[in-house]
Amino acid sequence: MPGGFRIGRIFGIEIDINWSWIFIFLLVTFDLAVGVFPALHPEWSPLLNWGLGIAASLLFFSSVLAHEIAHSLVARSRGLPVDRIVLFIFGGVSNIEREPASAGTEFLMAIVGPLTSIVLGVFFLFLGVASAGGFQAILLAPGEILAGLSPLSTLLLWLGPINILLGLFNLLPGFPLDGGRVFRSIIWAITNDLKRATRYASWVGQGFGWLFVAIGIAMVFGIAVPFFGASLIGGFWLIFIGWFLASIASQGYEQVVIEDVLKDVSVSQIMRTRYPSVSPQISVNQLVNEHIMGTEERTFPVMEGKQLLGIVSLDDVRKVTRDRWQEVKVEEIMTSRDELKVVGPKDGAVEALRIIAAEDINQLPVVEDSRLIGIISRRDIILWLQLRSEGKEVSVSFYIFLNLPSSFYNF
């Protein structure tokens, strides 16, 4: 995957890790191994602190993954395809290929994630208390019990509250957090208008985002904020989270507006029927000098007569060393027809857009009866939106970065 790597599949869903996740994994582990565990148990060795810190981080992010799997399984049970789950710096995100069809479906999909985190938290907390001697023992001699906790009890008593807090935080009514989606589903059910419900949920989400930014700024300047305290690093982290939440909330509304603009538009209305193509027999040198240089085109259909054989792009050229350009042919570096994502002329433009965004590609061949009849590109769709979206409350300048699948974020 771009910007990360794949670790496997669960229930047929690809599990990916973004490189940014490594930073937060190391940060959590460091905080536990250097700050939390030594403060509770100064007698523990550094090796034990670091080992337990790594175990706690892995179990915590496994809990985050369970949260996202819960979203995905409910989505699939309601007929919504789920292609992958990504763990990244803010936790996890389930990439669901389209918006739910009803308010009830969205409510179920959204609520199950926080409930999973809370149930896991209660489970870990119960095990931790039981391993420490039970509630009665802790209440009678809390200082003695906490000081004498075993590594397993300490681990469980950290995992319990942190999962409960994770579930409660995600219930905040700030779109696109789970609570924001619950809020949107309620407004959607009342108004029967997804666009209006998304606008209201987006406003609340942006409000929470900028509130976090304000709290973070106060913390950076040493102002002790109730519950958050005063911490330079914590303040900058909260500013970062708030900015991200506000940005995603705004883009979530724009996504719905974009789909509204494109909802009745077919691929045939946007596709280009005139496009430059190349022969599979020309050399990479010819491709570069006769087709790429001096034009704005970076991707070309590889044709033999009217049959599409594949696609060749500038990225394919970069895989060939300059001294081999003359000897290597286009057919040797192209992406073959069997590996390509294609659409038909009657398919919806929204579906083409989802494929372009999900596959991180710039254009799609339009095929009918095994013949290439056109090309629909990211640029073509952006131009259509720019021409048609006047008065539709949408800015398409961000669109090149937009990932259209409906995403359930978990912090």
Task: State the Cα–Cα distance between residues 111 and 373, nearest whole angstrom.
Answer: 44
| Cβ neighbourhood burial of 85 (10 Å; 0-12, 13-18, 19+) | buried
Q: What residues does 366 pair with on adjacent strands?
A: 343, 374
Contact 330, 321 (CB under 8 A): no
Task: State the Cα–Cα distance between residues 241 and 87, nearest whole angstrom.
Answer: 16
Identity of the amino acid at 256: V
Task: State the Cα–Cα distance between residues 206 and 174, nearest whole angstrom.
Answer: 7
Q: Beta strand 13-18 with 82-88: parallel, antiparallel or unpaired?
A: parallel
Written as six digits, the tokens of 340 are: 């390509």
Contact 7, 21 (CB under 8 A): no
Written as six digits, the tokens of 361 are: 């590609």
Task: State the Cα–Cα distance between residues 34 and 18, nearest whole angstrom.
Answer: 25
DSSP for residue 348: B
Residue at token pair 């479906």: 105
Which residues are the active-site residues?
Answer: 68
Contact 394, 261 (CB under 8 A): yes
Contact 187, 206 (CB under 8 A): no
Q: Which residues contact 209 (CB under 8 A, 6 or more apart)?
A: 174, 242, 243, 244, 245, 246, 247, 249
Task: State the Cα–Cα distance between residues 20 and 38, nearest whole angstrom.
Answer: 27
Could you tell me which of 85, 76, 80 has the C-alpha nearest to residue 10?
A: 85
Q: How many whole angstroms from its chain centre is CA 384? A: 26
